[in-house]
Amino acid sequence: MFACRLALALGVPNPYELLRELPANVWLLWQAYAALEPWRVEDEPARTYGGRAKPAQVASTLIDAMKAHELVRQAKANGI
């Protein structure tokens, strides 16, 4: 069900497509994010544009996720 919720939030019509495209490390980041800050259904209209996520918002979110992944990778490399 998480794949369906994430696909909806990102405006991706097919959750299986999302699963194929996201690297495992980014998928895990999204799961961690959802555990810390769960989505609320009533927030959905504010995050979408015409039933799909705003492109700039999606890009920003993915960039943030990749930055977080890089910070985790660096921390592990430094034994932190």
What tokens does 6 get? 């994430």
pLDDT of residue 40: 65
Burial class (CB in 10 A: 0-12, 13-18, 19+), 39: middle
Report residue 60 CA to chain centroid gap: 10
Number of domains into which the chain is organized: 1
Percentage with pLDDT > 90 across the chain: 1
The average pLDDT across 61-77 equals 80
The predicted model scores a pTM of 0.48
pLDDT of residue 54: 64
Proportion of the chain in helix, strand, coil states, percent, rounded to 5 = 75, 5, 20
Q: Are 11 and 53 in contact (CB under 8 A)?
A: yes
Q: Which helix (H) or strand (E) holds 31?
A: helix 24-36
pLDDT of residue 6: 86
**Mean pLDDT over each residue of the chain, to the nearest integer:** 77
Domain coverage including residue 10: 2-77
pLDDT in tens, 19-31: 988 888 888 888 8
